[in-house]
């Protein structure tokens, strides 16, 4: 996706703006002519000129205009690690990586660009290479000194690659000894990121390939960050992934830590017979299930669900009171975000989703619960386009 700075028809064409436009378009002759026409003070102001958060070197790098980058760095002596703006915090290297500009990345690294300088949200060039699946750029960054497990609040580059199913760069990161079991600040391993990814982001074939790669690299099959892989896979109905995990040695007897149900119980209670059949040979008998057979487990789950529906009816008044209490809490939470309008909508939405997820768990609707919690995970996720590319 090509990014072009929007200058607008009514914008005053100052020398700085003309210069930015020429750098964005890659017109090196125009750039040199403009620079030669300026006095000393105007020339010195070019390095700090910005349009939509981007400086001249950032724009040229993003477009892959290596000749322009060379002129700005070697002749005009622009800072190769300059930050675009406080709002973006992008370096020229991040700009080039975000658009997959291999030649520009190579040039900037050769000239001393810092491969570990992070933007205002803590994401380094290697995060963007991983998210975009830019294999060659990933190798360039790692060869140029990028820290393979550099962390943002959302995780390492391997978390990013796993979340987007970028198998090539996952392999590259693992070859450079990326920590396959690193737990991110929000409590996910790379394997959990792969399993939690939405179908819109990650098709099942790619998801399975990512899972196999992570398992081969030594992923902890029983990590409870945020749940065991088997619990997540069962909740999401990922039949092939569950089979792969079991074949690799995942423990089917570890329950979900918030509700205490084993994967086979979750499968039965959510009506996933195929998963019950797959999990049955790997699961030890559960004392609460009187008839330990596939049919017996499913029948027990149906009886539990029926009892829950009756109990929900009996507790209707208390549920109404709880709902009013929860809605009040949501409103208070949203009100506290008024000074941050950009975050308010997401914060309110996340509170509602968590409330719905909790209710789904109470009703043993585990598939529904994961749907709500997964959406919270997506809203909280950094895996979104940089603001300049929206």
Q: Does the pLDDT value for residue 109 go beyond 50?
A: yes
Domain extent, residue 208, equals: 117-220
**Percentage of the residues of the chain whose pLDDT score is greater than 70:** 76
Angle (CA) 42-48-54 rounded to 5° is 130
pLDDT in tens, 23-82: 999 999 999 999 999 988 889 899 999 988 899 999 999 999 999 999 999 999 999 999
Residue 172 resides in a domain: yes
The residue-averaged pLDDT of 284-294 equals: 96
Select from 311, 327, 359 the last residue of a domain. 311
Alpha-carbon gap, residue 369 to 60, rounded angstroms: 46
Closest CA to 268 of 228, 305, 240, 297: 297
Does residue 241 sit in the same domain as residue 261? yes
Q: What are phi and psi of 155, to 5 degrees?
A: 135, -170
Residue 319 resides in a domain: no
Give the count of domains, the chain: 3
Closest CA to 306 of 269, 276, 335: 269
pLDDT in tens, 231-273: 999 999 999 999 999 999 999 999 998 788 999 999 999 999 9
Contact status, residue 215 vs residue 221, Cβ threshold 8 Å: yes
CATH of the domain at 130: 1.25.40.20
Residue 334 resides in a domain: no
DSSP structural state of residue 74: I
Residue 377 resides in a domain: no
Select from 159, 186, 220 the last residue of a domain. 220
* pTM for this predicted structure: 0.79
Does residue 207 sit in the same domain as residue 290? no
Residue 212 resides in a domain: yes
- What's the chain's Rg over C-alpha atoms? 26
Contact status, residue 86 vs residue 94, Cβ threshold 8 Å: no
Does residue 243 sit in the same domain as residue 150? no
Residue 164 resides in a domain: yes
Residue listed under structure tokens 């768990």? 361
Does residue 134 sit in the same domain as residue 215? yes
Residue 340 resides in a domain: no
Does residue 262 sit in the same domain as residue 301? yes
pLDDT score at 53: 86
Does residue 185 sit in the same domain as residue 228? no
* Angular region, 365: left φ>0, alpha ψ -120 to 50, beta rest: beta
């Amino acid at each position: 996706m090509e990014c072009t700075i929007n200058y607008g028809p009514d914008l005053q064409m100052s020398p700085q703006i003309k210069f930015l436009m020429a750098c964005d378009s890659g017109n090196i002759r125009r750039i040199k002519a403009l620079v030669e026409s300026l006095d000393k003070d105007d020339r010195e102001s070019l390095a700090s000129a910005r349009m939509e958060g981007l400086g001249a070197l950032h724009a040229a790098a993003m477009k892959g205009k290596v000749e322009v980058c060379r002129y700005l760095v070697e002749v005009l002596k622009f800072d190769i690690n300059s930050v675009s703006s406080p709002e973006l915090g992008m370096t020229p290297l991040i700009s080039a990586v975000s658009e997959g500009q291999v030649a520009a990345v190579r040039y900037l690294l050769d000239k001393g660009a810092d491969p570990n300088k992070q933007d205002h949200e803590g994401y380094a060039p290697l995060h963007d290479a991983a998210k975009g699946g830019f294999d060659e750029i990933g190798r360039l960054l790692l060869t140029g000194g990028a820290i393979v497990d550099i962390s943002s609040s959302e995780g390492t580059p391997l978390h990013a690659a796993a979340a987007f199913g970028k198998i090539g760069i996952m392999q590259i990161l693992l070859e450079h000894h990326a920590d396959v079991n690193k737990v991110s600040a929000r409590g996910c391993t790379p394997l959990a990121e792969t399993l939690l990814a939405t179908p819109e982001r990650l098709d099942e074939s790619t998801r399975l390939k990512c899972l196999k790669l992570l398992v081969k690299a030594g992923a902890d099959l029983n990590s409870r960050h945020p749940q065991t892989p088997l619990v997540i896979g069962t909740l999401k109905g990922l039949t092939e992934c569950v089979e792969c995990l079991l074949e690799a040695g995942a423990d089917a007897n570890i329950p979900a830590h918030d509700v205490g149900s084993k994967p086979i119980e979750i499968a039965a209670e959510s009506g996933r017979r195929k998963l019950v059949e797959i999990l049955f040979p790997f699961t030890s008998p559960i004392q609460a299930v009187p008839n330990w057979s596939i049919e017996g487990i499913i029948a027990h789950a149906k009886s539990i669900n029926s009892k829950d529906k009756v109990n929900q009816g009996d507790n209707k008044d208390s549920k109404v009171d709880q709902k009013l209490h929860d809605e009040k809490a949501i409103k208070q939470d949203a009100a506290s975000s008024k000074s941050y309008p950009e975050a308010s909508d997401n914060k309110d939405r996340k509170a509602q989703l968590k409330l719905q997820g909790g209710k789904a768990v109470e009703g043993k609707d585990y598939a529904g619960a994961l749907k709500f919690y997964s959406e919270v995970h997506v809203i909280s996720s950094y895996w979104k386009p940089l603001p300049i590319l929206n």
